[in-house]
Amino acid sequence: MRRGQGKSTFNNRKPNMTPLETKNHTPMTMSKLCLLLFLIVATMGCTAAQENLDTNKLANPVSSSLFRSCKEIKQEMTRARDEFTAGYIQFRVFNNERAANALCAGIKVTGCNTEHHCIGGGGFFPESNPRQCGDFSSFDWNGYGTHTGYSNSRKITEAAVLLFYR
């Protein structure tokens, strides 16, 4: 068999097709790709112990299998608590000033101040340039790690974000 005549998906596709398109010209779905996405905010390890599962503080209780529960994320974000719903992952979210954030992990945004609880972005947020730059654009709006106003705690601001996918 000569090179290029194998039976892989890439060799059976037309030259102008993207790698995610098969020979029947339909894009592959996420389930076919077996995409598995985990987000771990590695600050305190597994905190899903029974003493941390007080559901009276949350409108929507979350699964105890998360490394960082959504309850903890909401506790860390003081002013932005009413701007999202826990238990989701959202990609490409825009704020009031039309600046884009790449990922809102563990939440679905319902308000318009995404810069306070979503990560990633284009590096420019017009509201308070250059104050809002970097992947954690406004986590320190009212001071670094102060946990007052729109600032997050130092634990969240200095957290490591690890994305695992397959």
Domain ranges of the chain: 36-47+64-164
CB neighbours of residue 133 within 10 Å: 15
DSSP secondary-structure letter at 32?
A: H
In sequence order, which ranges of the chain are alpha helices (DSSP H)?
30-33, 70-76, 154-157
- The pLDDT assigned to 140 comes to 77
| CA dist., res. 108 & res. 73, Å (int) | 13
pLDDT tens digits for range 48-97 = 333 333 333 333 333 433 334 555 555 655 566 677 787 888 888 888 77
| Reported pTM | 0.47
pLDDT tens digits for range 7-50 = 444 444 455 444 444 454 444 333 333 233 333 333 333 233 33
